[in-house]
Structure 1
Amino acid sequence: MAKHPLRVYQKTTKVQWNHNEVSTSPAEKKQIDITGPFRILISKQSAPIIVFLAVYYAVWQMSITAMSSLFEDKYGLTETQIGLTFIANGVGSMVGTLITGKILNVDYRRFKARHDAHIASSNTEDDVELANTRKRQENEFPLETARLRLVPLFSLLQCASILLFGWTIQYPYKVHIAVPIVSTFITGWSAVSMQSVVMTYLVDVFHDRSAAASASLNLARCLFAAGGTSFAMPMINSIGVGLAFTVCVAVQGVAVVSLAVQWKFGAKWRREAKILGQTLRYLCTVVRLMLIEIEKSVDKNIYGP
């Protein structure tokens, strides 16, 4: 047994053979949709929430980009010491990845349980009408409320931490260096948490194109971050650290409008997109059947009945 474990396993393990499960037809190949991420990026179902997250991601990256220069200039840290200050941001990001995901799952299950209980208590119809009602209410499930309701909390945390970071570094001789370092922990945690929330929401909306949704989000946030980090230090040098990051927080406040738009109109836009998709699929099916009938009639005229 020790020398030939696979042979012993094959002889002692018996699996019932099911001929019905055997399929000789090749698996259907999925076509690569190169334009998918771009269409999702400009779609009204996702554009507002993507812009919102991209702005917050850009401000986060601007603070990280400015950290090394600011700590060296304001606190006189060496390169090794500057490198150690980034640990707080990394730990905050790790906490946001590990813990916030579980919090989101628990919160979503609790919200859905309350929603289902409310539906069950309000239904008094017979079986057929009950099934139709449940199907209609499932389509009207408030996905935006269920998935995005923690985003304002993380948004406030990131805005507060960015302000704390900027104004404490503005006065290095009055504030201990531990304060801006702790603020980077909060920034990393809140930023990654918001990314988790928005990414989960986009996957729910585009469940059949989750990879394209992820690609569109990554494209937008990287473009915004590239633009933001390019003028982070010039803005800091011109108006000061505190005012520079206050401007960043003001831009984040304006971006909250995108979140509000998504929250208010997201469900309506999803229903419209679903109806449009069903209509297009129906028209494609009709056209395909018409082409088949035309081909049959042409063959009959050429080759006879």
Structure 2
Amino acid sequence: MASEEETAVTLADERAPLLAPTTPAPTDAVPFSVFTPRRKRWILFLTGFAGFFSPLSSFVFYPAIVPIAAGLGVTVGLVNLAITTYMVVSGIVPAILGNAADKVGRRPVYVLALSIYFVANVGLALQDSYPALLVLRMVQSAGISGTISLGYGIISDIATPSERGSYVGIFALGPNVAPPLGPVIGGVIAAKLGWRWIFWFLAILGGVCLLAIVLALPETARPIVGNGSIPATGMNRTVVSLLCSGKRDEEENASAQEEVARKSRLASFPNPLASLKLLLERDLFVLLLCNGIFYAACACVQASLSSLFIRVYGYQELQAGLVYIPHGLGALASAYVWGKFLDSEYARVARAHGHDPNEAKRKLEDGFPIEVARLRSAFYVIGLTAVSTTAYGWAVQKQLHVAVPLAIQAVIGFTAAAAFVTFGTLITDLNPGRSSTAAASSNVVRASLAAAATAVLEPILDAVGAGWCFTIFGGIFATCAPLMVYQIKIGPKWRKSRGCREAESSNASSERRE
């Protein structure tokens, strides 16, 4: 564990220039992270792999709804309830795990979450009753829903602001590949092997991810290891490092830091309300709301996709699973390309506003217009998403050739993923030292809005048809544009105010300890 002095210096170095009105510190020789580029790529791969399971577990379930209902002797409506409860839990649990990861480290929380996920999948594969299905789906969600929040925390630990867009883009490849692959995998497994093998598949693949993290995911949390130069101890240490360094090294580290670790554990009990408190911060709420709006509207577009193609174009279930591929390909391309674009935008804004490019690469300087750097390109993304969503609805309603709505789906996938990368990067920028907690706040908003939106989707489709239904959702997307203007204009003032409050609170806490 890092000492209290080292931890304070590490967090203040990144956080103070962003939130508090301080004079920029001179550049020093200490690197932001000691992890090599090769090791960072490995860390990104593992976090993206873990994040892949959160949406996969939801989308792989859809093609198996009818077979599961038949196998358990219940109605499709009751099985659909397992989807709703999955979403509800996915909005609650990350608030606990995200805050815990910011305090006790990323590794222990990853291991706990994936262990729960593995056990839940084995139980789902073996169960024979509807109550067991309902409960175990909630346990499954509890285990895996926090992995995306944990991934954003790791990105904040190892990536400087100038490269954070690319890192978020690469990390997002995992969660973005799951929605198109999930229905295809679920449909094929359910048709060929039976629905129970869907959960065996998730258990096996999740077990591989758990093993890789236990063996070789290094601890990155800055309160624990600083920039990576402070040795980790206990559960924060990888099995590979234990085998390489030997038991003696571990005992010396543990003995030297035992008292600091004990105090830190006592002060680090997870606070699930921490992520809810961030919802009250005005410089964050607009971002969290727009991110939630995009997620909820995209969830409705994707939730209706297979059923609309079955109804309108006469597709079979397996064919209907394949229609998710264009959306997924667009999202994959966007996640990678848009992250690099955000990094280039960051550099251009730094030069345009007279900031030292070398210093801006390392950390956010006082007065740096981070909202402009991240959001000035968002208007194109929002506009194109709104137009393409509306066009998709009318293309389906008018029964145009199937290539037309599928091509539009690829556009929606590209622009929506670009929005998620943009919002996710800025939310991480604005919350150094507690990025997992902030990502959990985002998850609370988007899960709540998605659950509400998907609940009213079918009634809207039945009442007004696909054309007007997705015109409504296109209008909902468009509401984010004026909110972005508001964020760019007023966000810096709110951010500065929040920084002053947090600095005063931190000083008061220090005085009480003394």
Using the size of structure 1 for normalisation, the TM-score is 0.76
1:150 to 362, 373, 377: 377
Map of 1:126 onto structure 2: none
Alignment RMSD = 2.2
C-alpha spacing 1:249/1:281, structure 2 compared with 1 (3 Å): same
Structure 2 residue 279 is the aligned partner of structure 1 residue 41 = yes
Structure 2 residue 449 is the aligned partner of structure 1 residue 224 = yes
User: Residues 59-78 of structure 1: matches in 2 within 5 Å?
Assistant: 59-78=297-316
Task: Report the alpha carbon displacement of residue 23 of structure 1 after superposing the two structures with TM.
Answer: 8.7
Contact 2:293 2:449 in 1 (8 A): yes
In 1: Cα distance, 2:448 partner to 2:331 partner:
21
User: Partner of 1:207: helix, strand, or coil?
Assistant: coil
Map of 1:276 onto structure 2: 501
Task: Report the alpha carbon displacement of residue 109 of structure 1 after superposing the two structures with TM.
Answer: 1.7
C-alpha spacing 1:22/1:61, structure 2 compared with 1 (3 Å): closer
Task: Report the alpha carbon displacement of residue 57 of structure 1 after superposing the two structures with TM.
Answer: 1.4
**Structure 1, residues 106-143: CA drift from partner, whole Å, max 9, x if none?**
221222133236x89xxxxxxxxxxxxxxxx9311111
Q: RCO greater where, 1 or 2, for CA within 8 Å and sep 6 or more?
A: 1
In 1: Cα distance, 2:255 partner to 2:366 partner:
35
**Structure 1, residues 188-244: CA drift from partner, whole Å, max 9, x if none?**
111111111111101111111100011111221121111111111210110111111
1:96 to 321, 334, 347: 334
Residue type matched to 1:112 in 2? Answer: A
User: Partner of 1:139: helix, strand, or coil?
Assistant: coil
Structure 2 residue 371 is the aligned partner of structure 1 residue 139 = no
**Structure 1, residues 246-273: CA drift from partner, whole Å, max 9, x if none?**
1112222233333222222110011111
1:168 to 383, 395, 420: 395
In 2: Cα distance, 1:97 partner to 1:254 partner:
23
Contact 1:166 1:244 in 2 (8 A): yes
Contact 1:51 1:258 in 2 (8 A): no
In 1: Cα distance, 2:335 partner to 2:423 partner:
13
* Unmatched tracts of structure 1, length 5 or more: 1-20, 121-136, 290-305
Residue type matched to 1:83 in 2? Answer: G
Task: Report the alpha carbon displacement of residue 77 of structure 1 after superposing the two structures with TM.
Answer: 1.2
- Matched residues, percent identical? 26
User: Residues 1-305 of structure 1: matches in 2 within 5 Å?
Assistant: 24-26=256-258, 28=261, 29=264, 31=268, 32-116=270-354, 138-172=365-399, 175-289=400-514
Residue type matched to 1:93 in 2? Answer: A
Contact 2:385 2:415 in 1 (8 A): yes
In 2: Cα distance, 1:218 partner to 1:229 partner:
16
Task: Report the alpha carbon displacement of residue 145 of structure 1 after superposing the two structures with TM.
Answer: 0.2
C-alpha spacing 1:24/1:265, structure 2 compared with 1 (3 Å): same
In 2: Cα distance, 1:23 partner to 1:216 partner:
37
Contact 2:461 2:469 in 1 (8 A): yes
Contact 2:342 2:373 in 1 (8 A): no
Contact 2:383 2:478 in 1 (8 A): no
Task: Report the alpha carbon displacement of residue 65 of structure 1 after superposing the two structures with TM.
Answer: 0.9
Larger Rg: 1
Count of residues in Structure 1 that have an aligned counterpart in Structure 2: 250
Residue type matched to 1:206 in 2? Answer: N
User: Partner of 1:220: helix, strand, or coil?
Assistant: helix
Contact 2:428 2:438 in 1 (8 A): yes
Runs of 4+ in 1 over 4 A off after TM superposition: none
In 2: Cα distance, 1:224 partner to 1:287 partner:
41
In 2: Cα distance, 1:113 partner to 1:254 partner:
31
Map of 1:302 onto structure 2: none
Using the size of structure 2 for normalisation, the TM-score is 0.46
Residue type matched to 2:275 in 1? Answer: P
Task: Report the alpha carbon displacement of residue 93 of structure 1 after superposing the two structures with TM.
Answer: 1.5
Residue type matched to 2:367 in 1? Answer: E
